[in-house]
Structure 1
Amino acid sequence: MPHERHSNNTIQHWTDKWVASVSDYSIFAISAEGRILSWNSGARTIHGYEADEIVGQPLDLLYTAGDRQRGVPAAGLEIARRKGRHDTEGWRIRKDGTTFWASVVINALHADDGQLAGFVKIVRDMTDKKAAHDAVLESERRFRIMVHGVTDYAIFMLSPEGLVTNWNSGARRIKGYTADEIIGSHFSRFYLPEDAAAGLPQRGLDAAAKDGRFEAEGWRVRKDGTRFWAHVVIDAIREDDGTLAGFAKITRDITERMESNRLLEDARKALFQSQKMEAIGKLTGGVAHDFNNVLQVLRGNLELLDKRHAGDVWTRERLDKALDAVERGAKLASQLLAFGRQQPLQPVVINLAPAIRGMDDLLRRALGETIEMETVVAGGLWNTLVDIHQLENVILNLAINARDAMPDGGKLTMELANAMLDDQYVTGVPDVPAGQYVMLAVTDTGTGMPPEVVEQAFEPFFTTKAEGQGTGLGLSTAYGFVRQSGGHARIYSEVGYGTTIRIYLPRSTETAVEPPPRPSVKLQGGTETILVVEDDLKVQSTVVDTLSGLGYRVLKADSTEEALTVIRSGVHLDLLFTDVVMPGLPRSPEMVAQAVRLLPGLKVLFTSGYTQNAIVHGGRLDPGVELLSKPYSREQLAAKIRQMLRATGATEPDRPATLAAAHAGTPGLRVLLVDDDVALLEATSELIRMLGHEPVITGSPDEALRWLGERTFDVLLADLAIPGKSGIELAAKAVQLRPALRVIFASGNEMPDAPALTFNWKALRKPYTLDQLSKVLDSSRP
């Protein structure tokens, strides 16, 4: 092939000249078919191949697998063939498999006769420069994203003449213009007309151009015409040669910041006040708990004494004074709990209009003849969820305070209206959500209060009255009740003109009901069976004596565990009367839940001086829960129990009396009761006594055998599982001592398989009812 040899010699001649003058480039020749014909030292450095490794190989070897699949090598040669030259950049691969970013030039070479002789390819490693270039581009991209993403600042560029050239999202938020609306406009349109006319915008640019930076504050105008107070910085931007390229302008709306600072300060003060009130509330709640227990012991025993010594005038007079003191103490404790937001509320959905109007007579009597009273009710009044009886007490307290502020007479106005508390209003008021409320305002024309008094008026024990004329708990009680009800209270007052106290209670969209009647305190007893669960033995003793005096049959337990033992024994119970806060486990509400499962018809009445959220959640009694707060009077206790027991409509409470009457005239049995559970012994013995029998109790099998040797018994009622000796062993020895003795085994399990017993016996499965106990005893008669 003489022609091909001639072409190759020509190509070699040219490549030798290139190689002789260039060392930082990979320069090599390629045949028209795409095979490498030569290899210089630069090619060896950049690509990693020696000449004898690469010459004769296809050009594809230097490309990545992806480029080879897409036919990039052949396409580059084709472009060079058609156009004479092809410039490109891309990833190339070295011998060791690593890649680099290459700048490539391919030149087509032609023979003297114009035919394509091949190609010369020049490659330069541009990896470092590409990395630097990419880093710059990425930095610029991130900067643009960052600037555009800033929303608290308006950041935009100005031309040297003051025209807006770009616009970030913060500028749109603060000034109200979109980029399309503002780019190309002069920035003076952001200034007040009078400032723009005075040349203020241009002076800012001139100062920035001269000093490099201009900073100022002033009024600016938004698109909608509203004003805001702006903090402005203008920086001059210059080219490398110092030529002014334009300005960077940063604007911040510090009206919002200043308002936020003001609101933050208000909120900080409000939070401090709220925390202070919360701390005092927790303290007063704990004090009220112990105080109420003490008062309950005093009140109960005084009433028992009153019942016994009612005919002694001297004693009766002093008892009345002592009971009056207990009443005052109870009211004080109630006020402390109200302030601490720990009184149990029983709210109902009502419309306040009829409820407030129903208080007119009461309020007029409390205010006296010198004070005029007016009630104003707005049309379409919304409903609210509130404990109406507690609200009535609050209104009465507010009216009495108003009366005291008008010693020479005046006018009291009560106003009811719908109200909307918006976000701006509630910002400085902790824990009060924006929304719809029912507003109750009590306004007097009295002496009024200075600002420093208004600030402290809701605090407990703060009073401006003379010593002995007030406890300082009236307004604090109102405040605690309103906050516990999810509402808000505020005082408006001016010295010499009077005071308005506004109470906001959340609106309820549910249907209103008739306000519940005030509970009756009529003294009435009964014959039902009540279990009293109380860990304070003095309180327990007083309650047991009070209920027994009212005719009830009373069982007692010192703990919730003892109470469950009594309940599981099968004793008939009509009502469980338990303190909410009991030591140990299970907790009182959990004990009640188990009791109701065991005795589905059981009525439960809680009592406490302080609920500690056991049965009160969100300041409200749990649904279906009945509570008698300590200290309570004998009349209140009697009325509450009768109210609950009457609700059953059953005749079961009279069953023990009926059973006892059925055995009237029949000799009672002498029953030896043996069980290691003391509480169960006491409860069962009471049942046996109710049925007209004579019980003797012991927890010791040995003591039972000793008594059997000394005394005669008709029936042995023994638990199957007694520590030290089983019930069967005890019964066998007992029958040896007293062959006529009848045996009843009581157990929570089935009677176990036992060898044939030589004596008569019966089984009583726990828990058993009073009927079952009566029948098994009757069947054991001679």
Structure 2
Amino acid sequence: MNRARPALLLLSASLIPVIILAAGMGWFFVAEQRKSLDEGVRARAATIAATVQRELNTQIQLLSVIADSPRFDLPVSRSSFTETARRLRERVPGWEQIRVSDEVGNVVLSLPPLEASSSRRVIDTESYDRLLRSGEGVIGNIVIGPKGQAAFAIRVPIERKDKLRAVLSAVIRPAMVTNLLHATGLPDTWPAWIVDGQDRLVASTGSPELAGKKGDEFARFSGSGVGLANLKAGGDLRVAEVALEETPWRVRVGIPLAEYDQLARKAWMLLIAGCCFTLLLSGAAAVLLHREVNARHRERESIANWQRMDALGKLTGQAAHDFNNLLMVFQSGVEGIKRRRNDEQRVTQFLGHMSDGVARGKAITQRLLSFSRRSNQGATHIELDGKLADLEPLLRQALNDAIVMDVNVPNDLWPVHADPAGLEIALINLLTNAREAMQNGGRVTVSARNVPQGATVDPMLRGEFVALTVTDTGKGVEPPDLLRVFEPFFSTKENGRAGLGLTQVHSFAKAAGGTVKATSLIGHGSAFILMLPKSTAPRMPREHEGPELDLPKTILIVDDTPASLESVRLALDGLVPTIYTASSGAEALGILERHPDVESVVSDIMMPEMSGIELAEAIARKDTRLPVVLMTGYSDKLEAGLEIARPVVAKPFKNEDLAAALAAERLKTVQLGNVVRLDTSSKG
């Protein structure tokens, strides 16, 4: 029995989480099924609403075309109206009556003609007033006519010279809407009905004779979205309500509550059974555990003590190693702050050194990546006057207190096209190199000038460039060494450390499509001229000149990484009214087919099956005017030097960077759209 107890205990303990997990999974499955039912009912209601709205819009468009025809130029001839209305009723059987009424709601013309005893005033004054206020076609509420029949009207203005002269209306029986309800293929047990803005029944799947009566005559529903309803004929429903986009009508679709709750009953039965079985096994396990604890208490205590000591020894050694490596950087700063905690200047200096320790590691990584970069990844439009003003505090930190730095940038300086991160690192490397050359202090000047075509320092360069020059008053470089300053690992530093800073500057300049030149005079200093190509994009407005970010109203974001996709969506949430997301290129193309209103696409480059570059090409084949901006954290194709025609923003990016890339891409697509293609097939 002593040997069987551990086995029974192990079996009981292993079955308990399995049963709990099974019950939880069952409950989760049922909850998901109920959620799926809710989504299905809501989707059905949305489909019906879209179908009805599309049909009503078609009716309004048709009536608007008729209202704009010369036959309805005022004054309208009665014979002309009668003939036109007769033909319309033959071609559009759903139009029960066609009327022309004046601005105050008096029916002037009607086919069939109004009876002598009938009122010549418009019955549905609410929709009539709505048309007079908006001047656009409207769908009226359901009303009961003089003969007790329900109908609703579609109304459009008759305008001449931008002034409303009369109103053209078509009276439609609810049977047309009822037929649309039956045509959507609802399950037989799912009722559906439509109510107008006054909660009167327009149409229903089961009781067409109730049209025009209060919606409660068919089913009593309270709330909005998803809720419960009681059928007048008996029975409870789980109902989803969806409003039509351009009318006060609402579509309601219900599923019998018995079908909906059947899943809940299964879940409760499964949960109760799982709880009972779990309690039984837990009791058995508790008894076995109590006996096992009493039988092996001493042995287990001895083993536990040995294990704790062994684990403590290993943990202490590993923790000491990791924490010493982590805290050593800050130890000197902490000690210095303790000694001079009242010396604000020294404390600030210590904190700066501690912060530099963190920044130095990041800077080394960026330099290595920049040195290995073979393409102009992340290149974008840079306005150097603003960029250098923002970087000036950072650049001064690359020098020491004995060095004076001047920044001279003309107001008419051209923008450049380069990688912003690479530019920052290149400037820091140039200033660091200047600092090493001026051990006893001096002056560094950062200047820039426009270089027109044909005036560059390198005859191999073509086009317009901006020359960014860093000049120092250091000791200078020997002529033989001046030819090798951009070589990897070549250095003239006295400490013998290998220099990769100028190599990075050279790599950055070449990747940007420019070059870097060095001149020096022994005893007087050196000058490094960084040639960067002029940007063709227009200058961006300053923050005080322009209002908000120039972002599209509707955007599609494509990324196969869920976290990255959600991060970009959240960053644009509130700035872009409508955002669609896709996790693959195929899904993105499907969304573009269903939503032609998408104004811009932002896609990740590295995706399986279809990359962002291939997606951009597929979009261009269908719509050359749709702007596409690519984003990437790393792309081997771009690093290998692949040239693509779309802007690329590097992750992580700011909303301002994305807005600038989208603006540049929109400008390019507009320019391409304005190109007139000559027809070379004609002769003569």
TM-score bracket for this pair, using the shorter chain length: 0.3 to 0.5
Bigger RCO of structures 1 and 2 (CA < 8 A, at least 6 apart): 2
User: Structure 2 length as normaliser, TM-score?
Assistant: 0.33
User: Structure 1 length as normaliser, TM-score?
Assistant: 0.30
